[in-house]
Structure 1
Amino acid sequence: MKPTLLILAAGMGSRYGGIKQLDQFGPHGETIIDYSLYDAIRAGFGKVVFIIRQELRADFEAIFLPKLAGKIEVDFAIQALFSYVPKELGTVQRTKPWGTGHAMLCAKDHTQTPFAVINADDFYGAEAFQVMGDFLQHDTNDTLHAMVGYQVKNTLSDFGSVSRGVCATDDHDNLTSVIERTKIYRKPVDTEGQEGIIVYEEADGLTPLAPDTPVSMNFWGFKTGVFEHTQQQFEVYARANVDNPKAEFYIPTIVTQLIQTNEGACRVFRSHSEWFGVTYPEDKPTVKKSFQRLHDNGTYPDQLWS
Structure 2
Amino acid sequence: MKPTLLILAAGMASRYGSLKQIQQFGPSGETIVDYSIFDAIRAGFGKIVFIIRKDFEKDFKDIFEPKLKGKVATDYVFQEMNAFTQGHEVPADRAKPWGTAHAVLCAKNAINEPFAVINADDFYGRDAFQKAADFLNNKCAADTYAVIGYELGKTVSEHGSVSRGVCAADEKGNLSAINERTKIYPEGGQIVYEEADGSKHPLSPDTPVSMNFWGFHPSVFDLSEKQFKAFLDKNISNPKSEFFIPIVVDHFIQNKLGVVNVIPTSSKWFGVTYKEDAPGVQESLNALVAKGEYPNNLWK
Q: Is the TM value for this pair above 0.5?
A: yes
Which secondary structure state, in structure 2, belongs to the residue aligned with residue 88 of structure 1? coil
Residue in 2 that maps onto 1:40:
40
- Paired AA for residue 125 in structure 1: G
Q: How does 1:80-119 map to 2 (within 5 A)?
A: 80-119=80-119
The question of whether the paired residues in 1 share the 8 Å contact of 2:88 and 2:236 is answered with no
- Paired AA for residue 161 in structure 2: S
The question of whether the paired residues in 2 share the 8 Å contact of 1:6 and 1:51 is answered with yes
TM-score (normalizing by structure 2): 0.94
- Paired AA for residue 274 in structure 1: K
The question of whether the paired residues in 2 share the 8 Å contact of 1:151 and 1:211 is answered with yes
Shift of 1:255: 0.7
Post-superposition CA distance 1:208-249 (Å, at most 9, x none): 322211100011000000110111111111221112111111
- Paired AA for residue 96 in structure 1: K
Which secondary structure state, in structure 1, belongs to the residue aligned with residue 268 of structure 2? coil
Q: How does 1:1-306 map to 2 (within 5 A)?
A: 1-11=1-11, 22-139=22-139, 141-187=141-187, 189=188, 195-203=189-197, 205-306=199-300
Which secondary structure state, in structure 1, belongs to the residue aligned with residue 176 of structure 2? strand
Which secondary structure state, in structure 2, belongs to the residue aligned with residue 87 of structure 1? coil
Structure 2: 5+ residue stretches without partners: none
Between Structure 1 and Structure 2, how many residues are aligned?
299
Shift of 1:293: 0.9
Deviates more, 1:262-271 or 1:20-29: 20-29
The question of whether the paired residues in 1 share the 8 Å contact of 2:165 and 2:209 is answered with yes
The question of whether the paired residues in 2 share the 8 Å contact of 1:148 and 1:270 is answered with yes
Q: Within 2, Cα distance between the matches of 1:245 and 1:206?
A: 31
CA RMSD after TM alignment: 1.9
Q: 1:128 to 1:140 in 2, by over 3 A?
A: closer
The question of whether the paired residues in 2 share the 8 Å contact of 1:12 and 1:96 is answered with no
Residue in 2 that maps onto 1:192:
none
Q: 1:74 to 1:123 in 2, by over 3 A?
A: same
Deviates more, 1:291-300 or 1:89-98: 89-98
Post-superposition CA distance 1:94-145 (Å, at most 9, x none): 1122111111111111111110000111111111111111111122632100
Moved >6 Å (runs of 4+)? none
Shift of 1:89: 3.0
- Paired AA for residue 183 in structure 1: K
Q: 1:92 to 1:251 in 2, by over 3 A?
A: farther
The question of whether the paired residues in 1 share the 8 Å contact of 2:13 and 2:56 is answered with no
Q: Percent identity among equivalent residues?
A: 52
Shift of 1:60: 1.0
Structure 1: 5+ residue stretches without partners: 190-194
Shift of 1:300: 0.5
Q: Within 2, Cα distance between the matches of 1:90 and 1:101?
A: 17
Q: Within 2, Cα distance between the matches of 1:88 and 1:284?
A: 41
Shift of 1:283: 1.1
Q: 1:225 to 1:92 in 2, by over 3 A?
A: farther
Shift of 1:4: 0.6
Which secondary structure state, in structure 1, belongs to the residue aligned with residue 195 of structure 2? strand
